[in-house]
Amino acid sequence: MSGASLFQWAEFIDLAKTLGDEAKRDGSEGKRRSAISRAYYATFHAARDYAVKSFGFDIAERDVHSRLWKALKTQPGKEAPILGQRGEELMRLRRRADYDRTPPVADSLVQQGLTMASLASGLLKSIEAGDAASATQ
């Protein structure tokens, strides 16, 4: 398939918002849990792609999720360590949504996940803008 563009992980954020909105209307626990999971994976994949490109992060090793957030926390500057911290927090929330049957996931947790993913996206954009500025100097 020539000319196809790469998938944009940010689409998962849009899906998470849609699922969260639908869950508010119909009360679906599955949609709430899926919204949190999609918000996490949007954040994880965007951060992973950045880490591979920026500092050669190795995605082939085990426990790539935890290693990614820890690696970001050790990067220079102030945004990458904050991104690593937010990623770890979002990962814990995603694990709860994906693996813990009780307690039920409330709309407030979906909102928390969406907020964390949005903040992480902003941090990543700031980091990438700083990298681009440094490269042109």
Q: Is the pLDDT of residue 1 over 50?
A: no
Cα 97 from Cα 100, distance rounded (Å): 6
Mean pLDDT along residues 75-96: 96
| The pLDDT of residue 133 | 72
**Total structural domains within the chain:** 1
The mean pLDDT value for 41-59 works out to 95
User: Looking at residue 102, which CATH number applies to its domain?
Assistant: 1.20.120
The mean of the pLDDT values for the chain is 92
Tell me the per-residue pLDDT of 116-133, one tens digit each, with 9 for 90 and over.
Answer: 999 999 999 999 888 777
Give the range of the structural domain holding residue 68, as residue numbers without chain letter. 10-131
Mean pLDDT computed over 93-108: 94
Residue 91, domain member (yes or no):
yes
Buried b (16+ CB within 10 A) or exposed e, 89-106: bbbebbeebeeeeeeebe
Predicted confidence at residue 131, as pLDDT, reads: 78
